[in-house]
A = this chain, B = another copy of it.
Amino acid sequence: MNGTQQDGSPPTAVVGMVGAGQLARMTQQAAIALGIELRVLSKDRDSPAVDAGARHVAGDPCDMKSLLRLAEGCDVVTFDHEGVPPALISRLAAAGHQVRPSPAAQLLAQDKGEARRLLSRSGFPVPPFIEVAQGDVEAVRSFAAAHGWPLVLKAPTGGYDGRGVEVITSAEQLASSPLAAASTRWLIEEKVDIRQELAVLIARRPAGWWQAYPVVETVQRDGICHELQMPGVIPAALAVEAVSLAASIADGIDATGILAVELFVTGDGGLVVNELAARPHNSGHATIEATVTSQFENHLRAVLDWPLGDTSLLAPAVVTVNLLGPVGGVDLARGLPAALEDPSIHVHLYRKAHRAGRKLGHVTALAETVGEAQAKARRAAACLVAP
């Protein structure tokens, strides 16, 4: 009988991933098909990836011994978040473990100041910026004299989902900002006139071979990515420019695995680079159903230096809506059958405990038109997280 064999075969590869969140969860789904064993490092085994069957390695992502324990027996170590100090990643590599992406590539995804400096030096379009020590209000004031208020204050490291970013309208506001008080360095940028937000995902192998996913347009709400459209509704020439820019950055920083490049389309129709993420990315969840090979499978294939899969789109229009925890709690199980009443909807739940604004899952709809995909995805999302 199919179900009673009592013997297994060794995995095709063993991949260690630091972090056990939803990105590791969806990576585990891809690992199953390819016969890969995925081991995830996190403090708690009660996590989205371990729930999905990834092997749990208990430990602190910021502790060298934990990282070494994860790396032991793995063909390669990779990451589902940017929380590991680059010095530790370098020590892991120095100890003879294969670490992908490289510590240098990760530093750029971790430190917005580093990324801004490198990209600017290399001729990539970034907003005008300065990085100053905490409290140097004078430097900010003279930057404002040249670029005008409001400015954007960013914590160079550790921000996500809108945290670590604040619009500053005056020197007085800066002086009283909790974010400014909490950041030992201030990254100050001109406030970009944002017409659209885009993301380009590049899957890249160690030797440099890469594949780009179709450009995604993201809709943020309170700094949190709320809805995504693939392909983004932009002129073809701008899509080419966005992909070229992202791929050139991937080459320049020698990225391995998925590199996500977030871009702003400015008021004059140009592009500036916002942020980098050197891992599978929230903007690429639609690739599970909407492209031949998902970003999660391609991340695994890339860090293992296996041939990359096709990133072509399978439908004219695809919309993903993130399921953000509503204020006052949610019961996803209750809303799920109603969400599935549309037979074409794809639901992904992460098994994370509810918190207001937290990403608990996402839904994806493929359709002939953007409007149709949007209507389907929004309806399903409303069934699941309606307050």
Contact = CB atoms under 8 A, between A and B. Distances in A.
Given A6-B47, A8-B353, A309-B343, 13 more contacts: A1-B81, A2-B80, A2-B81, A3-B42, A5-B352, A6-B43, A7-B352, A8-B46, A8-B48, A11-B351, A29-B32, A306-B336, A307-B340
Interface string A293-315: 10000000100001111100010
Contacts of A332: 9, 12, 35
Nearest to A158: B1
A372 to B, nearest CB: 14
B2 A21 contact: yes
A332 B354 CA distance: 41
A294 B9 CA distance: 25
Contact of A352 (B8, B54, B310, B340): B8
A368 B292 CA distance: 14
Contact of A33 (B160, B309, B349): B349
A386 to B, nearest CB: 16
A222 interface: no
B33 A29 contact: yes
A344 to B, nearest CB: 5
A229 interface: no
Copies in the complex: 2
Interface string A26-54: 00110011110000101110111101111
Nearest to A79: B3
Contacts of A187: none
A384 to B, nearest CB: 10
20 contacts: A1-B82, A2-B22, A2-B81, A3-B18, A3-B21, A3-B24, A3-B83, A4-B42, A5-B353, A7-B353, A9-B360, A12-B349, A32-B52, A32-B53, A33-B347, A34-B349, A35-B332, A51-B53, A292-B343, A309-B344
Nearest to A211: B343
A46 B337 CA distance: 33
Interface in A121-167: 160
Given A3-B80, A61-B4, A332-B9, A307 B351 contact: no
